[in-house]
Structure 1
Amino acid sequence: MSMPAVGSALEPVRRSIAAAADADAGRSLRAAEERAAATLAHARAEADRTVREARAAGAAEAKALAGGELARRSRQARTVVLSARRERYEEVRRRALRLLQRAGLDPVLRRGIIGALGPDAHIAPAPGGGLVGTAADRTVDCSLGALVEHVMPVVAGQIEEVWT
């Protein structure tokens, strides 16, 4: 079985991972947006309070304080959103690995390795699940970790589309 055939065989798994990632990303995004909106609302309220107090001391000083405080709070909100995105990415990665561990893919992976390396390939279990095949100076890594890493850029792109 060629590597495209392995890719085709894994397409239902990819679709399942992508669907789960989309749903999880949507929920995570909404929660992160709510936290970010609350942080921004709080920042605006604090900035407004700072402006009122500073106006009593002078218009120039008030402008500098409000701008600095709002900028600081905006950075805080951005940090919250980025942290939530990273957490979601890692959670999707962990779930994808668990899904693959339960999928029983070794027969499909074995056929893919033999298709890529030939029938004399040495095939061994990979730590964490999956298989690794070697023949002469070539290696085909079908460990579950490598498969997840291969799929995550696509899934991450789909998650990013939901976030933007």
Structure 2
Amino acid sequence: MTAAPTVPTDPLDPVRAALLHATREEADQLIADARRDTVAVIAGARAQSEALLREARLQGEAEGAHDAEAALAQARREARSELLQAKAQACDDLHRRVAEHVRDCRWEETYPAVRDRLAQRARRTLGSGTTVTDHPHGGVIGTAPGRTTDLSLDAMAARALDCAWAEIESLWKT
């Protein structure tokens, strides 16, 4: 009985899996935080608009109805603005945290092999005459006359988030 031939594994598979796992966990936490903040903002906006509505009714139906509509519209705009700011902050935090996690792979014992694979990829992508330099945060930058390829860990983390963004964005809607 002969053993089945082994299939070479990509040393980046654990990094990708860890990145996706960490990204999902971070996204879940950030979304939970943003939802909690959003509920409080909307509750405050609703309370404010209801108070304004009661005051407007005391001043008269005609004037009060107009004022209440304007106040409610303003409260909705403010709540929407705060929600968008919370989402933007959550996205910024996610990008920062993912980049930090990916940079940490430099301290793993498999990193030299990963770095060598990235250098090989840069050379395959840009062809002969490619110069490969280490990026300060990990990974490499390949340059050839008139061309550059960024295979830094930061750039790869950003690309991974871009690829996962549709899934991350769907979490806002659930």
- TM-score band, normalised by the shorter chain? 0.7 to 0.9
- Asked whether the 8 Å contact 1:35–1:80 carries over to 2, the reply is no
TM-superposition CA deviations, 1:98-145 (whole Å, max 9, x none):
222222231221121122234642111124332111233332221223
CA distance in 2, matches of 1:132, 1:89: 26
Q: Residue in 2 aligned with 1:156?
A: 165
Change over 3 Å in CA distance of 1:34–1:120 after alignment to 2: same
TM-superposition CA deviations, 1:74-107 (whole Å, max 9, x none):
1222122212221221222122222222222312
Alignment match of 1:135 (pick from 135, 144, 154): 144
Q: Residue in 2 aligned with 1:100?
A: 102
CA distance in 2, matches of 1:89, 1:119: 39
Q: Which runs of 5+ in 2 are unaligned?
A: 1-9, 106-110
Query: Is structure 2 residue 42 aligned with structure 1 residue 40?
Result: yes
Q: Residue in 1 aligned with 2:18?
A: 16
* TM-score calculated relative to the size of structure 2: 0.76
Alignment-mate amino acid for residue 147 of structure 1: M
Q: Residue in 2 aligned with 1:4?
A: none
Q: Does the residue aligned with 2:151 lie in a helix, a strand or coil? A: strand
Q: Which runs of 5+ in 1 are unaligned?
A: 1-7
CA distance in 2, matches of 1:82, 1:45: 20
Aligned length in residues: 157
Q: Residue in 2 aligned with 1:63?
A: 65
Alignment-mate amino acid for residue 31 of structure 2: L
Cα shift at 1:35:
2.2
What RMSD over aligned residues (CA atoms) do the two structures have, in Å? 2.2
Alignment-mate amino acid for residue 146 of structure 1: A
- Asked whether the 8 Å contact 2:19–2:102 carries over to 1, the reply is no
CA distance in 2, matches of 1:30, 1:87: 13
CA distance in 1, matches of 2:36, 2:96: 25
Alignment match of 1:87 (pick from 75, 86, 89): 89
CA distance in 1, matches of 2:12, 2:71: 50
Identity of aligned residues (%): 30
- Asked whether the 8 Å contact 1:26–1:163 carries over to 2, the reply is no
Write out aligned runs for 1:120-131 (5 A). 120-131=129-140
Alignment-mate amino acid for residue 141 of structure 1: D
